[in-house]
Structure 1
Amino acid sequence: EATTYSTSPTGLDAPILTPVSSTSIKVDWSTPISVNGVLTNYTIYEGNNAVYTGGTTQLSYTVPGLQIYTQYTFQVEACTDRGCAVSQPSKAWTLPAVPENQPTPSLISLTNSQRAFDGVLISWDPPAKPNGNITSYEVYRRDFLIGRTAFAVIDPILVYNGSNRVFTDNSTQLLPYHQYQYMVIAYNSAGRVASPWIDITTGEAPPDGVLPPVVNSTTPTTITVTVTPPLTLNGVITMYEILVNDSLGSSSPSLGQTVGLYQPLTPYTSYELKTRACTNGGCSNSAGIIATTSSAKPTGLAAIKIVVVTNSRVDLAWSPPSNPNGQITRYEVYMRTSCPPTLQPFYQTCLVGDPSIIYSGSNMMVTSNNLKSYTAYDFQLQVFNVNGNVDFPTWVTAETNESAPVYSIYPKLYKNGTLAAISWGSSFSLNSRLKEYILYADGNIVFQGITSEYSVKRESNNQVISFIIRAITSSGQAETPAILFDPNAVDNIGTSTVTPAPTTDKAGVPVYQEIWFIVVMCILALIVLFIILVLCCWHCGSRRPYMRERRPLHRRRQDRLDQDLYVVDSRDGSVIDENGLNPAKHKNRNNSYQHPDVGVINPVFLHDGELGRVSPSKISWPSIKYLDDDDEDEDYPKWDRHLDSGLFDDLDDDSVSGQTYSYTKEQTVFTDTHL
């Protein structure tokens, strides 16, 4: 026979585990299905740790020294001389034991939204060594009463039984600001464990049995009271408050308080007073009592109201003071002139007027009459009771409406050297905003502006000047009568034949709408139209002739020409010496020249060049006297003129045909024209 070589076992099953106690587990195993040789030993592993190694005959082992109620994993290893085989793992728990080390619970005193005590929150942890599955917990509470010399413990009360680890004890048996003790017991299948007792003082709550305050004394603005402590404190009293009509009037930890020191009360007023006692857990109010302050001077008086305003009247009304502080006895209304005054374009000095009483009585309205137009007034209302009157009432300003200006008194006249000065600052009641003053001196405008004084230069020391001043405002106009400046009068005071009177209806009519102004303008328009028509007719009926259309001048006498003459040729304007002419051809029997192309010229019309062509001895100067009969005895200088004026063209052949004329010295020189 032949035997094969041995090898590692196969078919080794997982061990069977049986908890024996809370610290040991029994491990059982079986032989491998295929040993494949000779087994040498067995080994038991807990995790990776070998806890047992033995021979092949023992198939069971109890593992000691394990943890209470702990899960363990075991494997069995079977070995031959050729190798080892390891089974699949098996798991098992050790048996539970009595729990150990239950910690004390955590206690929190709860409060509600008003900070009052609202139960105890209890929370706890499981035992440090549960030694099994904790199946339930129990929570117990007991009173812990502390006296001056000893303390007492009342039997505990079960307040919770369950598996949760949080509980809120809000039993109605719990009292605020009271000391209690709590403990927790944990249970498992092996037994139970209890925590130590722990103390807690419940939260504070509002006190109970709060009494109303006791009134000691009153003034117009304060009330002094005494507070009684509550019957049940429910905590430490931190503050006592006195409520006035449900509003805080005063607060203090002390029992004696005065209401109205920081916020004065209203005199002669009834108030409801309550006590409020407060702890850290909240506050409680007492019932109310009624207390009345003493009377005092009135306060809270509203300003007087302006109801209606005209140019001479103001209607006023008012209301009673909000705080009469006693019985009202009378009202008084004061009036004064105001500053700043109504607007004017010139500088105005202003002093606030002295107040005057315009009403005293119990009515609630009054009318102030006979006021000045366009004037600012201040009005003040005063109210009185048995204790006095209002302090510092308000002034209200009202401006009367505008009206037409009124002339009232004569202007002031005085001399200032050679000037006649007039001042009219007090002569008008303007009654509205001034536009301008117009000053007339002897009917002429000498000044327009906003000042009220002007000086006019006198032409002589005894000159009498008539002044008229017109004031123009936004509501109309007014003017003075004729004011005469007489330098010989006493104190230079002007006189007038017109009695000063205020303007009435016409004060508001513009000048261009008055009848006299319209009539004057119509007359002036007719005169201007007539002058225009006359000028047109005169211009159209006559026409001055053109200078070339004028007829030649008629000679006044026939004089024989001097022998020494010069002749001008009309065709080219050249001067012809008499010696070069044919006397028989050009002269008639009267010794005058009648050829159309020849004429006699005065030597003064010769150009300088032409004068050089002839001899000066041939010029006949005596013939110049015929130029102007009015100046026969005067010597004439040479005329600085040219022969040709530019207004005459050379004659053509047609212009020289016809009758011929003789030319004399007078006919060739026209003294009344430029030809």
Structure 2
Amino acid sequence: MESQQNCIWTLWLGEMLVHIVAQLPMILSHQRPPGRVDVQEVGSRWVSVSWGAPYSGHAPISHYVIQFREEETTLGGGMSSWNNVTVGGNIHKARLGTLRPATSYKLRLLAVNEVGAGPPSESTLALTLQEASLSELLQWRDPGIPSGVPGNSAPSTAPQQVRTVRGHRLEVTLTSLHQFTCYEVTVRAFNQVGSGPASPTQSVTTLEGVPDMAPQDLRCSALSPQSVRVRRVPPPIEHHNGVIEGYNVLYKHISFQGGMGSDVEIKETTNLETNLHGLAKFANYSVRVLAFTTAGEGVRSNPVHCTTEEDVPGPPEQIKALAMTSDSIMVAWTRPLEPNGNIIKYNVYYHSLLRKDEHKETVFGDRELTYEVRRLKEFQQYEFWVTASTIIGEGQSSIKVPQAPVSRVPARIASFSRRVVGGAGQEHYVSMPWRGSS
């Protein structure tokens, strides 16, 4: 049932009757299953997919999770685990990389809103293309041996590796070769008497593949509040499988609270040292690197994590001043939306509107978000504002709010409003502290 209701509580505070009105928002629900994933393009090691926007359940979709796994069962008879790729809620396409050639994959999609992940879509099958870089076709001319000759032989890379072709075939495909490797090949014919002279040596190089090992010794260090430096060394030369054209640095903001964070961003570079700029302040980032050739992207490295440096914080998000007695005011505030570091103290400022004499009080730590200013003059108007500080320094000021001490104080809610989200049937408890004389 989807509805919106007002609930009213009535209570006595001393001699005053207080009415508290709370509006219960529309119940949120999980989404319906998204439509099937559409396969747009297929390579030997990647697949491009797209999808439409599903029903969101009265809450905007925060992100999508594309899941894929090989269709074949594992050696133990079970299915392989799902691999996840996450994109933002306003994105409806993705490219899945680091797949295996000539392999069938199952793909499905989940949409996530504030309530959680909805049911998955129906599975879609995608078959990656084959790679032709591990074989070479050899052709030669018949040397004019009389009919009835048993066959020809074509040795490959080394004398001990020989392929024998029976009959009158004039070509053979050599398989299981190494990628991007030069081979020397000769062909000789033979009959019942023995083998003839070898043909001139022919050099042939297999096609490029993708690097089958990730870059090594990946390191990440902070440069400033909004930049980090990423260093690595190339994969071992025997794992290049081609000419390395460059590197993709994949980085993602990871929330300190364990949330999903941002989408993966990619920076392409040819250098072994890369600076990432425009990052969030005092934010944790996960960084991975891969090398690529003209054949495609190679194996991704294991992630490393680094945190940008601290900076001065932004302003406290909200502030209010409540009259407590004839000579005191309660100042309450909320934490900055952008703390940009560990908050070590709050600074409470106030002055009289008559004299503009500024005063400052300090609240150490980040747990206490109220302060009672005393020794004020009754009925005199004051302005109050708050700043936060990190080890870097003092941040921006909140807005200024006016208030005057009075002896007769009405009941007031001291806390700030906040949104509580939950699914249908879940229980939630909300405390509502207030201030007032008894």
Taking structure 1 as the reference length, what is the TM-score of the superposition?
0.28
Larger Rg: 1
Higher relative contact order (CA closer than 8 Å, sequence separation 6+): 2
Q: Judging by fraction of residues, say which structure has more strand.
A: 2
